[in-house]
A and B are shown apart, each in its own frame.
Chain A
Amino acid sequence: MIDFLALTVLLAGCFFIFAGTVGMLRLPDVYCRLHAMTKADNLGLLLICVSLSLLDGRPRTALLLLLVWLLALLASTVSAHLIARHSRARRPPTGNGPVDYDSAGSRR
């Protein structure tokens, strides 16, 4: 029973990460892509950590995986904020459609 539950949670996690990746590739704008990356991937990571701790069963690994998730959360929020702030400083959003360039600075 536990394995079945863990499997479904794992699949859900993989789906969210897949959604985040598709979002990053398809969405036109830096800001939209940041949304996709941070939100979907963090949720996906959480679900994967939950399923792994279910599979493993020991509370120690559950705590370790929780710490992993918290660190990933902290890192991704701060970096997403800095990227958004950095891109707004270089190309202020004009409001009339997506403003897009890749990180190397050459306009796509």
Chain B
Amino acid sequence: MTAAVVVDILLGLILVGLAAQVAIGKHLFRAIVFYVAFGLAMALIWSRLGAPDLALADAAIGAGLTGALMMVAFRQLVEIDPKQSQAQVTRGSALAVVIAVLAAGMVATIGLTALSLERQPGNAGLQVLATLPDTGLGNPITGVLLAFRGFDTLIEMTVLLTAFVGSRVITTRSRLSVTTISGFELPLVRTLVAVILPLAVLIGMHLLWIGSDQPGGAFQAGSVLAGSGVLLLLTGTLLPAPHSRALVRLALVVGVGALCMLVLAPLLQGKVPMAYLGRGSLLFAETAMMVSIAVTLTLLFAGSPSLKAGR
């Protein structure tokens, strides 16, 4: 029982404990808070497994933004009907426990038997590490995400755009939701914004810049900026605006547009579609993706087509 195994067991217990609170906890609001804690514990496990990119992404998107989106949705439920949202509509049933145990058993046996087979490293992964020097990139994850399997990223950015356009279908019919917290006009809060906003933008740019060589990249940078966008919405510096503006619509689309250009531009030079055009092209695409991700996630939090200055 080496120290590493003990640490793993502890991390595992923390994770399962938090997951139990989320799934079986009584209060809904408390389940959401525990889900944010679960996301952060997940980030711990990713760094323990040696996957820093995933730790960053899970902390920023999995815990941060998903938690923020759920809390603002919960707040809207409470505004519509205070008592209804507390309703304990869970009916405990033995059958559900049996099915859950069977599902867990199935996943455990699948995982353990997959582990017990003699596993040689996937040759896709080996080839990624082998051909990475040709692209001049240092971070293999960014290499896979943008150079080798860049087409997945293009579709995934379209999925994010679809989520926004889909939520516009729904929010066009309802009133703008209030996103500011009570007491947002306090000077203390204004100093918080004054300190954290420039720092968040700096961290976002840093993550974007080092993304090609060290853990980081467009998704993590975009979600850090989206986090600062959420902070601005909470503190009333930015307010949801009812009518969409051309600049905001452009910012939403620029990420997918840049990746489309990455696919189609090589055709003009007679190369294969999405041929690798050097680090500069990747940086351009990543900047566009960062802008798109930050604007899309902030607008999803605000639930409005665009934003306007607060005071």
Partner of A89, one of B86, B182, B192: B182
Beyond A74-B196, A104-B86, whether A82 also contacts B183 by CB under 8 A is yes
Establish whether residues A74 and B27, one from each chain, have CB atoms under 8 Å apart when the complex forms.
no
Beyond A89-B182, A103-B29, A106-B86, whether A82 also contacts B189 by CB under 8 A is yes
| A25 CB, nearest partner CB in chain B, Å | 14
Query: Which residues of B in the span 21-51 have a Cβ within 8 Å of any Cβ on A?
Result: 27-30
Beyond A74-B196, A104-B86, whether A82 also contacts B29 by CB under 8 A is no
Establish whether residues B27 and A78, one from each chain, have CB atoms under 8 Å apart when the complex forms.
no
Beyond A74-B192, A78-B188, A106-B86, whether A86 also contacts B30 by CB under 8 A is no
Establish whether residues A81 and B188, one from each chain, have CB atoms under 8 Å apart when the complex forms.
yes
Q: In the complex, which residue of chain A has the Cβ closest to the Cβ of B78?
A: A105
Query: Which residues of B in the span 170-202 have a Cβ within 8 Å of any Cβ on A?
Result: 181-183, 186, 188-189, 192, 195-196, 199
Residues of B contacting A81 with CB < 8 Å?
186, 188
Query: Which residues of A in the span 78-108 have a Cβ within 8 Å of any Cβ on B?
Result: 78, 81-82, 85-86, 89, 102-106
Residues of A contacting B182 with CB < 8 Å?
82, 85-86, 89
A71 at the A/B interface (Cβ < 8 Å)? yes
A-B contact count (CB 8 A): 33
Q: Interface residues of B, CB < 8 Å — how many?
A: 15
Residues of B contacting A104 with CB < 8 Å?
27-30, 86
Q: In the complex, which residue of chain A has the Cβ closest to the Cβ of B29?
A: A104
Residues of B contacting A106 with CB < 8 Å?
86
Within the assembled complex, what's the spacing in Å between the Cα atoms of A89 and B186? 14
Residues of A contacting B27 with CB < 8 Å?
102, 104
List 19 A-B residue pairs with CB atoms under 8 Å apart, sorted by A's residue number: A74-B195, A74-B196, A78-B189, A81-B186, A82-B181, A82-B183, A82-B186, A82-B189, A85-B182, A85-B186, A86-B182, A89-B182, A102-B27, A102-B30, A104-B27, A104-B28, A104-B30, A104-B86, A106-B86
B residues apposed to A, CB below 8 Å? 27-30, 86, 181-183, 186, 188-189, 192, 195-196, 199
A residues apposed to B, CB below 8 Å? 71, 74-75, 78, 81-82, 85-86, 89, 102-106
Question: Can you name 4 extra interface pairs (CB under 8 A) apart from A102-B30, A104-B29, A106-B86?
Answer: A74-B196, A78-B188, A85-B182, A103-B30
